[in-house]
Structure 1
């Protein structure tokens, strides 16, 4: 296996409230030196929740996506706050964005997006045994919650408004888990919150 490149220098390029861009001067094992730019990732990561109700429907949300300048369908998601583990963050985000909490939460897998340019990690969490519970979130407007039958995922994947790659990947992973017969995921039963 090739050794990781040596980091020669890290330089802050610019900062905003959300983004920190830095230049990385690297030397590869063959002696080649290159400068890369990346979005520096801080914090504890994020969660995306695949919440499935008793009717075998996944809870989608409709929210405004500034990057696309339009409303999109996606899954509840958010940052892991200081002092939280991923399961606590997932249950909090589910309550803030969809108005439900879960008694059963299971870690599905970690996803990355554009790893050549950023180190953002997203934990996919499966939420089951849902019950109504609403927490105040940081959304600027109420989010519309849309229950979608798991049996109709192929139709969802054709909807122009449902285009977020991480949400598509999360649903495909959960769908695959539901169809195979293997030992269950590591799960944490949550107490009533």
Structure 2
């Protein structure tokens, strides 16, 4: 980070809208050069999420899940909130069991991502799950999630699929591709 950058001064934070799930705040900021702006953001939360890239033999496992925001089904990796008291890998295994019907014996952390940092404070942990075994847990999904097996040898062809376009899934795909194709001894 540039040591010369100075965070803006926050003059006022106010709730401008609230629903069952979301609170929208306005944030009155003054930048170090004197410029003032009022931004809107989702109220910051310390809840983090996890996305799992499951590897079963020579395939990736994906699910199709309805997205109310796009009013359609999206192909992607299992994901969800990290529950209070859970660590990232426990949440990854639970979400994998709930959404894909598999548990994992080995998990590798790849990266923590932020999503639209101008509007959200949320962080998502991307992990790879390997050495999978059949295991299902009841989740909160309103319907069964179809499982899709995708050959690792064609993993970047997922980018050509019209229903694989959510940015977090694309990021996880590239991170997993780089990790799976690293040279021996490279970490």
Do residues 30 (structure 1) and 33 (structure 2) align? yes
Gapped regions of structure 1 (runs ≥ 5): 186-193
Please, what TM-score do these two structures have when normalized by structure 2?
0.94
Aligned residues: 184
Residue 89 of structure 1: which of 88, 91, 99 is its match? 91
User: What's the C-alpha RMSD, in Å, of the aligned pairs?
Assistant: 1.3
d(CA) in 1 for partners of 2:185, 2:27: 43
d(CA) in 2 for partners of 1:7, 1:182: 48
d(CA) in 2 for partners of 1:18, 1:43: 14
- The answer to whether the Cα contact below 8 Å between 2:47 and 2:122 also exists between their aligned partners in 1 is no
d(CA) in 1 for partners of 2:169, 2:94: 18
In structure 2, what is the equivalent of residue 190 of structure 1? none
- The answer to whether the Cα contact below 8 Å between 2:48 and 2:82 also exists between their aligned partners in 1 is yes
Offset of residue 184 of structure 1: 6.7
d(CA) in 2 for partners of 1:132, 1:43: 32
The list of structure 1 runs, each at least 4 consecutive aligned residues, that deviate by more than 3 angstroms after superposition, is: 182-185
In structure 1, what is the equivalent of residue 47 of structure 2? 44
d(CA) in 1 for partners of 2:52, 2:28: 36
Offset of residue 51 of structure 1: 0.5
d(CA) in 2 for partners of 1:78, 1:85: 13
1:152-177 deviation per Cα after TM superposition (whole angstroms, max 9, x unaligned): 12321101011111101101111111
Gapped regions of structure 2 (runs ≥ 5): none
1:33-76 deviation per Cα after TM superposition (whole angstroms, max 9, x unaligned): 1111001231421000000012x211100111111111110110
In structure 2, what is the equivalent of residue 17 of structure 1? 20
- The answer to whether the Cα contact below 8 Å between 2:49 and 2:79 also exists between their aligned partners in 1 is yes
In structure 2, what is the equivalent of residue 5 of structure 1? 8
d(CA) in 1 for partners of 2:156, 2:102: 25
Offset of residue 116 of structure 1: 1.3
Do residues 150 (structure 1) and 149 (structure 2) align? no
